[in-house]
């Protein structure tokens, strides 16, 4: 139970960290899309480096880009890379084998460039719609978060200064 609680806390912390970024909504959404795009590519362990480089080039949020790469994480690598292989092998039928239960770097290297081409193709096919979708979801989520936060801050201000401002009005008359 402790692991689950700390996992939920880490998710919430990173969610709030992205939502509270002091950059434009477009920058956050584009950064997330860049991160999700590179997270879908089988370029492990360089996903974050690629995402940060693209975020720098596109001038979008680097924090959101780094967070977006976690769309593929240790909990879902096997099904994720299996999907990359299946989609890529369907599009480019090269004679390569891929056993997700025995995924070792040595065996993947022995497959040669064929496995790289197949998996990158599958990753690109998954990355494009996922990143576009993540842009719009993030844009809407950040917009709603900031709007609710602004309303909450205005209400807090009114509660704190409401009596004082009414008191000031009576003194002026």
The model's pLDDT over 10-42, given as tens digits with 9 standing for 90+, comes to: 878 877 888 888 899 999 999 999 999 999 998
Spatial neighbors of 108 by CB under 8 A, at least 6 apart, are: 115
- Model-level pTM greater than 0.75? yes
For residue 60, pLDDT over 90 is answered with yes
Helical spans, DSSP H, in 41-112: 47-58, 62-68, 77-91, 105-111
What is the percent of the chain with per-residue pLDDT over 90, rounded to a whole number? 45
Strand ranges inside the chain, DSSP E: none
CA 164 to each of CA 10, 59, 62, 118, 154: distance values in angstroms, whole numbers, following the listed order: 40, 44, 42, 68, 15
Closest CA to 85 of 68, 98, 70: 98
Which has the higher per-residue pLDDT, 170 or 150? 150
Residue 173: per-residue pLDDT: 47
Which has the higher per-residue pLDDT, 101 or 77? 77
For residue 166, pLDDT over 50 is answered with no
DSSP class of 104: -
Environment class of 42 (CB within 10 Å of its CB; exposed 0-12, middle 13-18, buried 19+):
buried
For residue 94, pLDDT over 60 is answered with yes
Q: Which two tokens stand for residue 150?
A: 């602004």
Query: What is d(CA 73, CA 116) in angstroms, rounded to the nearest whole number?
Result: 19
Query: What is d(CA 17, CA 103) in angstroms, rounded to the nearest whole number?
Result: 34
Q: Which two tokens stand for residue 113?
A: 């460039």
Q: Are 34 and 65 in contact (CB under 8 A)?
A: yes
Query: What is d(CA 62, CA 44) in angstroms, rounded to the nearest whole number?
Result: 18
């Amino acid at each position: 139970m402790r692991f689950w609680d700390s996992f939920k806390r880490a998710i919430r912390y990173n969610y709030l960290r992205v939502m509270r970024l002091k950059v434009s909504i477009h920058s956050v959404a584009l950064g997330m899309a860049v991160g999700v795009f590179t997270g879908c590519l089988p370029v492990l362990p360089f996903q974050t480096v690629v995402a940060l480089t693209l975020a720098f080039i596109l001038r979008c949020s680097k924090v959101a880009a780094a967070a977006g790469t976690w769309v593929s994480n240790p909990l879902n690598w096997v099904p994720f890379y299996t999907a990359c292989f299946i989609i890529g092998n369907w599009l480019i039928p090269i004679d390569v084998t891929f056993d997700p239960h025995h995924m070792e770097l040595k065996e993947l290297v022995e497959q040669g460039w064929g496995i790289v081409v197949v998996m990158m193709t599958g990753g690109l096919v998954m990355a494009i719609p996922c990143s576009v979708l993540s842009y719009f979801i993030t844009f809407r989520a950040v917009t709603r978060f900031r709007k609710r936060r602004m309303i909450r801050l205005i209400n807090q201000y009114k509660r704190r200064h409401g009596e004082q401002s009414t008191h000031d009005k009576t003194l002026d008359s």
